[in-house]
A and B are shown apart, each in its own frame.
Chain A
Amino acid sequence: MILIRCPWCGPRDAGEFHYSGEATPRPEPASAGPREWRDYLYFPANPRGQVTETWYHRMGCRRFITVERDTDTNESRPVPGGPR
């Protein structure tokens, strides 16, 4: 079982969550051109190791949370100061 550590609900089964991908800052809509948007949409960092991600706790607090997870071991922890 893989656990995601929700800052509101504590460690819960990953099946309760929806994975929404790497937490990359969104380009500035007023100034970003097609290139920045495509880069943002298509080019994830895809690291082997620690990555900061957004998850949606759909079967729990129903909030988007920011989690730091190791893509090799699936160990995770909430990121302090992330959106909660």
Chain B
Amino acid sequence: MHQIIVWTPPGRNAVAAVRAPSQPRRRRPRRYGALALLRHGLSGREWPRAWSEHPLRDRYDVVIIGGGVHGLAAAYYLAANHGITDVAVLDKGYLGGGGSGRSTAILRSNYLTPEGVRFYDRSMQLYRTLAADLDYNVMFSRRGHLTLAHNDSSLRTMRWRAEVNQLQGVESEVIGPDEVKRLVPYLDTSEHPRYPILGALYHPPGGIIRHDAVNWGYARAADAYGVHIHQDTEVTGIDVAEGRVRGVRTTRGDIATRVVLNATAGWSTLVAALAGVRLPIQTFPLQAAVTEPVRPFLHAVVVSGTLHVYVSQTDRGELVFGASVDPFAAYSTRGTLEFAEGLATHILELMPGLSRMRLLRQWSGLCDMTPDFSPIMGGTEVEGFYLDVGWGTYGFKAGPVSGEAMAQCIATGRTPEIIEAFGLGRFGAGELVGEKGAAAVGH
């Protein structure tokens, strides 16, 4: 029988002990203003790289494993908010090659638990001003988010969610089929389908964003503060001595460090195991697909939990579909025909008019599912080893707030209140969060 992990937060920790924060020196990258873009476009010169490459140093104050939106955001906020710039972000592949680049990039904050709503709403706030903060067009498009109800019990849950949301100051309301039809005319709101639409939870601030731009924007802004971004650098070991992190071993050499943040998805249990930390996570693939581009006709993001499908139209005109996680755990990212068939059946039930659309491609990403559909954030029993994992199917929308909270956690050595409910200790203590507003999971 395994020993269960019970962790109590140490008083002082991490970087606070490493070095006192100083004012960060920021090298201003080339501005991406309209005039600058026009001038450069006309000049015909090569565009400079958005972030630079560095040799791998043998010592960093903070090492972040995982170059996705979470890792890059944490690096950026460590530098921008706390003046900690001696940071390395390591990725075994390329930036945003994991969940961040495979996400369907839907943003919303209409969750079910007050902890969840507060948390994701902070992320929405950061996303709203992200383009200006990073000087990078992240193409955030607020277009409204509809969660359809096909039976009485889901309508009941939506009323509950709307109440919780409104209490937290988040725009969210339950609307009837007529209003749904007005917002999305192509939906079949008649009584004929097998699962007729009885109503929907309408969340006007929800929308979509260009996920790659978010990754690249954070990478560029962090790089400007002096953060080192190392792609093609796989972590092969984490050195722990006397209960504290001493360094990491990578395919490009060893690094001495006192702080390591595990910001990986899909491989988070394997990375945590390198430091001897067990996680309550099982890895499931989640598939998504995209159609050929068509004229804009779908403004809102439409989600149906009963039919396990969500759809939005990108600015380029493609329809992006997502579904629920695959029915069994795996690390394989191969797409299946069953997924494409099931997706087509379900989406045609909602929008019969799409029957002539052609799927362009499908792909799969890895989701780290926790027992309570909530992430695991904060410290561990290994001093200096931090977690920002277990992001299941909802990691992308939480990128900015997670980065901000983890940066604060690492810089101050204390767990910020906004992520207190998400500690690893909750599984040993039996205090699960129970977030049933999560996407793409059957409840």
Contact = CB atoms under 8 A, between A and B. Distances in A.
A34 to B, nearest CB: 7
Leading 7 A-B pairs by shortest Cβ distance? A19-B328, A42-B280, A39-B4, A46-B269, A42-B427, A48-B331, A35-B4
Interface string B32-71: 0000000000000000000000000000000000000000
B332 A43 contact: no
Interface in B1-51: 1-4
Contact of A1 (B282, B337, B371, B428): B337
A71 B332 contact: yes
Interface string A19-55: 1010000010000001110110111101010010100
Contacts of A71: 283, 329-332
A39 B4 CA distance: 6
Interface residues of A, number: 25
A19 B325 CA distance: 13
B336 interface: yes
Interface in B269-305: 269-270, 278-283
A27 B332 contact: no
Q: Chain A contact residues: over half helix, strand or loop, or mixed?
A: mixed
B430 interface: yes
B1 A39 contact: yes
* Most B C-beta atoms less than 10 A away, residue of A14, A39, A73: A39
16 contacts: A21-B282, A21-B329, A27-B1, A38-B4, A41-B371, A43-B2, A43-B4, A43-B278, A43-B279, A43-B427, A44-B282, A46-B282, A48-B267, A71-B283, A71-B331, A72-B330
A60 interface: no
A73 B332 CA distance: 6
B334 to A, nearest CB: 8
Contacts of A36: 1, 4
Nearest to A18: B327
Nearest to A72: B331
A74 B338 CA distance: 15
A38 B371 CA distance: 11
A42 B281 CA distance: 8
Contacts of A41: 371
* Most B C-beta atoms less than 10 A away, residue of A27, A34, A39, A46: A46
